[in-house]
Amino acid sequence: MKPVGGIEKKQSWIWKGGFFLASRMFLGGIFIYASLDKIFKPGLFAEAVYNYQILPDILINLTALVLPWLELVLGLMLVAGVWLPGAVMLSILLLLIFSGSLIFNMVRGININCGCFSTEPSTDPITWWTVMRDSTFLIPAFYLLFANRTEKTAGE
């Protein structure tokens, strides 16, 4: 290997590492932040889930209880770099489900509260802007899925 090529490779390695770390922290932070209010107010979050009018009644409370913890665990794993392939894929799956549910209700014309970051009704009505915001989070998620850095982090 030529020395010049080696230095370039090292620099690009550091750059990529920076992006990788930033994506992990950003996505993990978003998930952790989104989980907290819902964990403390499961009753209100259940109402938000109910208002989406997608799940059968029997699954609403269970979803309202488990989903926020799933977001918290995913967020912590992304930040800590533990079980990354699973955490990243599950994040993508969740984000697709969230965006899909938003789009579904936008198209149906159902006028509900997002319940994305806060359980407080009327703080966050769903709009195409909400859909765009949630879909944007897919960018770092897909970057993490295809990036070449997983092995360099803790827990692997």
49 to 68: interface string for other proteins, x by CB under 8 A: -xx-x---xx-xxx-xxx-x
**Total of residues contacting other proteins (CB under 8 A):** 40
48 part of the interface to other proteins, by CB under 8 A: no
Q: Which two tokens stand for residue 122?
A: 């009327």
Return the residue matching tokens 């922290």: 25
Task: Please identify, among the stretches 5-13, 22-30, 109-117, 136-144, the one whose residues bind other proteins according to the rule CB under 8 A.
Answer: 109-117
Query: Which residues, at least 6 apart from 42, have a Cβ–Cβ distance to it below 8 Å?
Result: 61, 64, 65, 68
Residue spans of alpha helices (H) in 41-123: 42-51, 57-80, 84-108
Least Cβ distance, residue 112 to other proteins (angstroms): 5
Distance in angstroms (rounded) separating the CA atoms of residues 83 and 37: 25
Where does this chain touch other proteins (CB under 8 A) — which range of 5-13, 22-30, 41-49, 136-144?
A: 41-49
d(CA 50, CA 61): 9
Give bridge partners of residue 113 from the DSSP assignment. Answer: 125
Q: Which stretch binds other proteins (CB under 8 A): 4-12, 23-31, 110-118, 136-144?
A: 110-118
Task: Return d(Cα 38, Cα 67) in angstroms, integer.
Answer: 9
Residues making contact with other proteins (CB under 8 A): 39, 42-43, 46-47, 50-51, 53, 57-58, 60-62, 64-66, 68-70, 72-74, 77, 83, 85-90, 93, 105, 109-112, 145-146, 148, 150
